Structure 1
Amino acid sequence: MNRQRGFALLAGLLAVVALVCATIFAGVGALDGGVGGGGRDEAGSDRAAASGNGAGGNGASGNGAGSRARTPAGAAAPVSADAWIGTWAASPAGIEPGVPNGHVGRSIRNVVHTSIGGTAARITLSNLFSREALLIGRASIAVSEHKEDAGAAAGTMRPVTFGKKASVVVPPGGHVVSDPVRLQVTPDTDLLVTVHTPAPGGPVTYHPRALRTSYTALGDRTRDVSGAAYIERAPVWRYLTAVDVLNRQARGSVVVIGDSITDGTGSSYDSDRRWTDTLADRVRGSGLGVLNAGISGNRVLRHSLAAGKGPSGVSRFGRDVLGQAGTEVVFVELGINDIIRRPNETDPDRITAGLKALTRQAHARGLRVVGSTLTPFGGNSRHTDQLEAVRAGVNDAIRSGDVFDRTVDFDRLLRDPYAPDRLRPDYDSGDGLHPSDAGYAAMGRFVDLGDLIGEEPARL
């Protein structure tokens, strides 16, 4: 063999080796593919969305829905990307009062409840409402041992990394998605997601109405299996906005955007009795997760960031709904606060236009939209005949079939047959607006599962 042919053969062999190596690296699964936690700055796009109040507010294009759905910024999509399914979510609603620099030097242990299981987990941390970078010193995830305290079940404590590093900086207005963590997650169970914040990080992005007890402790207690150090309790979720699981048999997630009726106001504390919890129980085994994107006080058209009631529905839809991992179908329960909160919206057509804008955003992604009628509030102090007429006008439009692909008539389910503008007494939590545990259970049972798992595609 002459020297020229030898070099040519050697070059060919090296090319084959390179190709094989590339194939091996491309085939590495999600758990070994370095799905690292790059940060993403969403502040500019979301603040731009927050500047307007109408139904024409910014949608999916302004909220980074594409990157949040499955792949952290700066990371290549793993081969198994489509197997990530949301099991829990909470929409960022505003800034936690009283802690302008964050919980410096503390560990925050959020307690969350799963809807679907998987063989691994990953978390999303948000710094949406801060203009300062947030340093996460360390983080962990574990299965909760008891509902009564912050202790972890034996053998389940796992460190959480970001880009294979223990610490991460969450950019102002942005979020990070963690690396996958090997952990057997079962449905209908509690997880403990803990972060340590060693330095000032500006205002805390939080969800104020968790209806679950979470905890804080002094120092870095992220790896503590015992809950003894977690002596401070709070009814809120801080920084954490999503937990996804790896489940290759799953169909996807039902993402419910709503207000306090979806958030669960009026239901029993620490009991997971929102109507979405009942729905999650019903779809268990069908391969669907259920994600609650409700914010108490939230409106379709207007923002209430200062009050902790979140950006408008039309502006947050891309991030909070379309941006979830494995979104399969969208459920909309929203609009009553546009009517009853000041400034009151007295034109039902404007509310209907906002709801249609949500449907259009979902249809652009090929997603089916199920929506509900607005529930009675005649027993509430804010009720007037004029506002009742607005609610009736919105409900007429929803029932016509021109707003959503499918309609769930929560109004007819919950209303008192002898006083149709009021909740049934046994379904009323006591304020004339929010359902009781019995009312929420009825709502969760009332949804036609065929609307969620049927094969008919969305109208495009």
Structure 2
Amino acid sequence: MALPGRLVATLVTTVSLTLLGAVGTTLPAHAAPQRTAEAETAPHRPLWTGTWATAPSHAVPALPGTSIRNVVHTSVGGHAARIRVTNRLGTAPLRIGALTVALQTPGAPRSPAAVPGSLRPATFRGAASVTVPPGRDLLSDPVRLRVPAAANLLVTLYTPEDSGPATQHRSALQTNFLARGADHTADETGTPYTLTTTSWHYLAGVDVAGSGARGSVVALGDSITDGSGSTSGANRRWPDRLAARLHALPPHRRLGVLNAGIAGNRLLLDGTGPSVLARFDADVLSRAGVRAVIVMIGINDIKGTPAQTDPAAFTDAYRSLVARAHDRGVRVIGGTIAPYAGHSGYTEAREAVRQSVNRFIRDGEVFDGVADFDAAVRDPGQPNRILPAYDPGDHLHFNDAGLQAMADAVDLAGLGVRTPQGAGR
């Protein structure tokens, strides 16, 4: 469902560098992206750029009377932020009693303490509390806060009552914090936050204004993109390492990097989270400033139950994603599916499907570019297997070194980023 033109214009025009007005708006689960205002007024420098994102994956029991301190890692910086809260997998209206944003104490990724003086309240159309309808995301008003690139933010929500199933992203690979019994969103010390969780709750994204970046790129996939196998709390998922590569460029050539990976996710079927076909609009096209998406998805379809054995089903789905992205002016990079021989789900018949799908990605002339992850991580002596130096032991996921190799396989020029000669890879 597209947003009304007047509302879209309001989202942009009411925010300026000198007067940041209230722009909180409710977004449906399959909201169309903000096309006209950002694209037409500044096609290469969107007002808002996504700096961090996650994809809702599970609905879990509510956390009434709880302050939830989510820790997120930025990719690009700016002088203001806005927060995307989510009730996308909820079944009842979600009441958020308060929301704050702060900088986490540097060098302390497992601490709930904020940098003194950095904590800011966020509002929604000027109100401190808000109700998010089920199945929806909602953007906060802009928050005046200088957000550094490659820094950790504390995004804290208070849920005063049982609002039904809580939307979460289960596999955060990050220590987050809970404080029971009262609203502790404004606490800088972190002392009340005595409980921890490794999931993000009620949070789907952070955008920044004034980043100077060209926009953002979404990494769309499954557990490999989600970071399974990487060091927890170290931000070494392959999208994080891609963000580090982009950060080395001059500010005006950078892109924010948004991680839309869900462990266990599929291209074709719902299961662990909605399928990529179902969530593409919400997790890619509705995000701020998106210029490109890297799609690496399909291994769970191939090895899962029921297994998808018809390569044509994959190619039809890829064509659909590309058409939907191109309709919004978004480039699509096809990521080849990595090898997995040695994993319990491996069979020769399934390997033949993987090879067929990878041939299409490389040679089908459907994608705007290819990130050949398969070639980057396979063992040259046994190309149906991961290189041992990259294998954490399950023959499916990747350790930090393997995820770095994946990030290095992305051609930055293919994302629409001009780089010094020879620096695209």
State the TM-score, normalized to the length of structure 1. Answer: 0.83
Q: What is the Cα deviation at residue 349 of structure 1?
A: 1.2
- The aligned amino acid for 1:181 is V
List structure 1 segments (4+ residues) > 6 angstroms apart after TM superposition: 25-28, 68-71
SS of the aligned residue for 2:329 comes to coil
Q: Please name the residue that 1:372 is paired with.
A: 335
> Structure 1 CA distance, aligned partners of 2:116 and 2:280?
38
Given the alignment, which residue of 234, 243, 246 partners 1:280?
243
Given the alignment, which residue of 122, 132, 135 partners 1:160?
122
Deviations 1:360-410 (A, max 9, x none): 111111111111110001020110011001101101111114231101111
Q: Please name the residue that 1:256 is paired with.
A: 219
Q: Please name the residue that 1:57 is paired with.
A: none
Deviations 1:430-453 (A, max 9, x none): 100001111001111221111113
Q: What is the Cα deviation at residue 131 of structure 1?
A: 1.6
Q: What is the Cα deviation at residue 417 of structure 1?
A: 1.1
Query: In structure 2, do the counterparts of structure 1 residues 154 and 412 end up closer, same or farther at CA, with 3 Å as the change threshold?
Result: same
Query: In structure 2, do the counterparts of structure 1 residues 452 and 86 end up closer, same or farther at CA, with 3 Å as the change threshold?
Result: same
> Structure 2 CA distance, aligned partners of 1:26 and 1:136?
26
> Structure 2 CA distance, aligned partners of 1:70 and 1:139?
27
Q: Please name the residue that 2:202 is paired with.
A: 239
Does the 8 A contact of 1:69 with 1:322 survive in 2?
no
Alignment of 1:53-452 (within 5 A): 63-66=30-33, 82-96=46-60, 99=61, 102-145=62-105, 146-218=108-180, 219-247=182-210, 249-284=212-247, 285=251, 286-304=253-271, 309-452=272-415
Does the 8 A contact of 1:31 with 1:182 survive in 2?
no
Alignment of 1:8-19 (within 5 A): none
Deviations 1:100-121 (A, max 9, x none): xx11001000000000000000
Query: In structure 2, do the counterparts of structure 1 residues 443 and 215 end up closer, same or farther at CA, with 3 Å as the change threshold?
Result: same
Deviations 1:251-302 (A, max 9, x none): 0001111111100001011111101111000001333111101111111110
SS of the aligned residue for 1:421 comes to strand
Gaps of 5+ in 1: 1-24, 47-62, 72-76, 456-460
Does the 8 A contact of 1:68 with 1:324 survive in 2?
no
> Structure 1 CA distance, aligned partners of 2:399 and 2:257?
21
- Cα RMSD of the aligned pairs, angstroms, is 2.1
Query: In structure 2, do the counterparts of structure 1 residues 327 and 69 end up closer, same or farther at CA, with 3 Å as the change threshold?
Result: farther
> Structure 2 CA distance, aligned partners of 1:451 and 1:357?
20
- The aligned amino acid for 2:49 is I
Does the 8 A contact of 2:77 with 2:211 survive in 1?
no
Does the 8 A contact of 1:31 with 1:180 survive in 2?
no
SS of the aligned residue for 1:318 comes to helix
> Structure 1 CA distance, aligned partners of 2:218 and 2:412?
14
> Structure 1 CA distance, aligned partners of 2:254 and 2:396?
33
- The aligned amino acid for 1:203 is P
> Structure 2 CA distance, aligned partners of 1:228 and 1:68?
43
Does the 8 A contact of 2:14 with 2:21 survive in 1?
no
> Structure 2 CA distance, aligned partners of 1:185 and 1:31?
17
> Structure 1 CA distance, aligned partners of 2:341 and 2:329?
37
Q: What is the Cα deviation at residue 340 of structure 1?
A: 0.8
Deviations 1:185-212 (A, max 9, x none): 0000000000000011010011001000
Q: What is the Cα deviation at residue 26 of structure 1?
A: 6.4
Does the 8 A contact of 2:49 with 2:209 survive in 1?
yes
Does the 8 A contact of 1:276 with 1:292 survive in 2?
yes
Q: What is the Cα deviation at residue 348 of structure 1?
A: 1.0
Q: What is the Cα deviation at residue 30 of structure 1?
A: 6.1
Kindly, what percent of the aligned residue pairs are identical? Answer: 46
Q: What is the Cα deviation at residue 315 of structure 1?
A: 1.1
State the TM-score, normalized to the length of structure 2. Answer: 0.89
> Structure 2 CA distance, aligned partners of 1:314 and 1:126?
20
The farther-off stretch of 184-193 and 352-361 is 352-361
> Structure 2 CA distance, aligned partners of 1:419 and 1:240?
41
SS of the aligned residue for 1:241 comes to strand
- The aligned amino acid for 2:225 is T
- The aligned amino acid for 2:324 is Q
Does the 8 A contact of 1:30 with 1:180 survive in 2?
no
Gaps of 5+ in 2: 1-11, 419-425
Query: In structure 2, do the counterparts of structure 1 residues 178 and 412 end up closer, same or farther at CA, with 3 Å as the change threshold?
Result: same
Q: What is the Cα deviation at residue 82 of structure 1?
A: 3.2
